[in-house]
Amino acid sequence: MDIKKLLTPLTAWGNITKDPVTIKDPLNERPGADRYRGFHRNDVEVCIGCGTCEEICENEAIDMVAIAETKDGDSGLRPMIDYGRCCWCALCVDVCTTNSLSMSNEYTWVTTDPEDFRFVPGVDKKDWDKGDKGWKKPENYEFYSIKRVHMEELSPEERNGSFIEMMKGYSKEQAEKEADRCVECGICTATCPAHMGIPEYIKAIRNDDLEEGLRILYDTNPLPEICGRICTHKCESVCSMGHKGDPISIRWLKRYIADQNPSEKYKKILEVENLQPKDKKVAIIGSGPSGLSAAHYLALMGYQVKIFEKLEKAGGMMRYGIPEYRLPYDQIDKDINYILSLGVEIEYNVNIGTDISLEQLGKDYDAVFSGTGLQLGRSTGIEGSDNEHVYYSTDLLRKIAQGEEIEVAESIVVIGGGNVAMDITRSLARLQKEKYGKIQIITTSLEKEENMPADREEVVEAREEGCVINPGWAPKSIEIKDGIPTGLHVVKCNSLFDGEGRFNPQCDLDVKEFWPGTMIVQSIGQGMDISYITEEMREKLEFGPRGRVQTDEYFQTSLKWLFMGGDIIQGPDVIHGIANGHMAAVGIDRMLNPEK
């Protein structure tokens, strides 16, 4: 036996004089590390209740429970964590679309009631809510791309002097990449006036099943080519992806589906080849979005539908209010022709009220839907605004769409800061470029740059094209010389609303400017023309604020046979019109088919 090997292990006795290494009171002396994945925290003010945390949790430890009030962009739900199931992986934190969810470095919790271990972080107050240590999503680390796939567009030089569509559309790869970013929270669906199945059709793009995508679009929206280009995309403004990065290009993805499906296949894809006709007739006044939407869904139900249109082509403001470079006419035709192919009749150049009375329509048809829209321009009412060279944007846009010659001046001032103002500015700029080879146009709005109602990209693109956008000025008067305007006097506008939120612009009269222009365009909103409603009928109808006819949830007026929707009731935008038309079609069907 090796005596050395018998004795060497005994050197371990040397430890007997050393201090112990154990911590006597670990719970108090040893906090969790800075990144520790401890109990959850949630900033409920930032959280939008998208439910992505619930979706990614592999243990089903998270339930979304109703806590806050539901509003646009916030489901009102908040995650409730069940610590009987949670495995502390923190995937919920990493995937959180708003970064509201995090974890504390607390890891001890004693309670006598097991139910306590199911709690809603941020709502059920806990000791660890305050600290800032614990797991947070690392920087430069995402579970999805927060950057939008850029859609190619014509350069400002190419755009100028041309009404060719400026956005080129997505390729298959681009669309699928953009569709991949969606987390399917459905906040968009809740916000969309038509409640389109947005996550579902985005999923169809990911699966490269565009026929299924088209079916989903037509469930709620019969104008996808149009909406895919010019929708006000309220969905995107609430998109959960927008909190950390860019919202999903929902509008462009819708356009992608519609663009990729050829119109001749629509009837087969949408399975509408064998509609069962009914013997009831419905008249529709106006072929704008609400009228077309109502016609589409009524036709699907088998009703005999006839549209009465005042102008020579269908589409209403979509055709006569939106410039071709944003919404090409062939795309409008694609959507409308499909609706007409379902057996919907249309009569052009008929003015209800003068050619046929509304009462007569009510007698000839089982129900009437009116969606006549807002076509009248609104005047600023300032000095000189009654001059013949002072125009309304609605009139000019209609004339451009109709191909009429416009007397485009060399220098123009546009009053207005909304999308229509941008449309007329950019349309006139194109015409100026064509006629004079240069652009000289100034557009102003009461609102400051950050509060301009127009879409941001519209303002940016208008500037790229050479227009001057000068927000934050109030029009004072139009200077007229020899019956022709010479320019617009403006003063600095400091604020628009008073303390109580009423419209009450405050201007600094000392800061003033004069912008020369021999053509002044007013684009400060539109008014409705419902002169086709006779006095006799007016007595039977109920009117609400701003002269709007009151309707029920199905857009039925107090005259049972008359339904009204679109911009004259709710708006102004295309998607509200579509939603109204759809709902009215359901209402008409309920009225005409009560036993169903």
Interface ranges with other proteins (CB under 8 A): 1-2, 4-6, 8-9, 11-12, 21-22, 32-37, 52, 55-56, 58-59, 87-91, 94-95, 103, 135, 138, 140-145, 180-184, 203, 206
Question: Toward other proteins, which CB reaches closer, 105 or 523?
Answer: 105
Pairwise CA distance, residues 82 & 408, whole Å: 68
Between vectors from CA 254 to CA 248 and to CA 260, what angle results, nearest 5°?
Answer: 130
Nearest CB to other proteins, comparing residues 213 and 416: 213
Q: Contact at 8 Å (CB) between 252 and 167?
A: yes
What is the number of alpha carbons within 13 Å of residue 348 lying toward its C-beta? 6
Q: In whole angstroms, how close is the CB of 234 to other proteins at the nearest point? A: 23
Decide if 331 contacts 227 (C-beta within 8 A).
no
What's the closest the beta carbon of residue 176 comes to other proteins, in angstroms? Answer: 10
Asked if residue 216 lies in contact with residue 200, where contact means CB atoms within 8 angstroms, the answer is: yes
Rounded to the nearest whole angstrom, what is the least distance from the CB of residue 460 to other proteins in the complex? 27
Nearer to other proteins, 199 or 288 (CB): 199
Give the nearest distance from C-beta 244 to other proteins in angstroms: 13
Would you say 94 or 259 has its CB closer to other proteins? Answer: 94
Query: Tokens at residue 34, please?
Result: 């800075």
Q: Please, how many CA atoms are within 13 Å of residue 540, restricted to the half-sphere of its CB?
A: 12
Considering the complex, what minimum distance in angstroms separates the CB of residue 255 from other proteins? 21
Question: Smallest gap, in angstroms, from Cβ of residue 448 to other proteins?
Answer: 37
Q: Report the distance separating Cα 368 and Cα 283, nearest Å.
A: 5
Q: How far is the CB of 169 from other proteins (least distance, A)?
A: 22
Please report how close the Cβ of residue 139 comes to other proteins at its closest, in angstroms. 9
410-438 per-residue burial string, b: 16 or more CB within 10 A, e: under 16: ebbbbbbbbbbbbbbbbbbbbbbbeeeee
Nearer to other proteins, 11 or 274 (CB): 11
Distance CA 429, CA 432 (A): 5
* Minimum distance from residue 89 beta carbon to other proteins (Å): 4
Q: Tell me the residue length of the chain.
A: 596
Comparison of 94 and 447: residue with beta carbon closer to other proteins: 94
d(CA 53, CA 55): 5
78 versus 181: smaller Cβ distance to other proteins: 181
CB atoms within 10 A of CB 193: 22
Helices within 437-573 (DSSP H only):
456-464, 535-540
**Using H for helix, E for strand and C for coil, what is the string for 394-445?**
HHHHHHHHHCCCCCCCCCEEEECCCHHHHHHHHHHHHHHHHHHCCCCEEEEE
127 or 208, CB closer to other proteins? 208
Cα angle for residues 525, 530, 534 (degrees, 5° grid): 160
Which residue's CB is nearer to other proteins, number 11 or number 276? 11
Give me the least distance between CB of 5 and other proteins, in Å please. 4
Per-residue DSSP letter, 524 = S
Locate 457 and state its tokens. Answer: 């990209």
Q: Between 41 and 296, name the residue whose CB sits nearer to other proteins.
A: 41
Which pair of tokens denotes residue 2?
């090796």
Output the six-digit token pair for 156.
Answer: 């400002």
Residues 568, 579: Cα–Cα separation, whole Å: 13
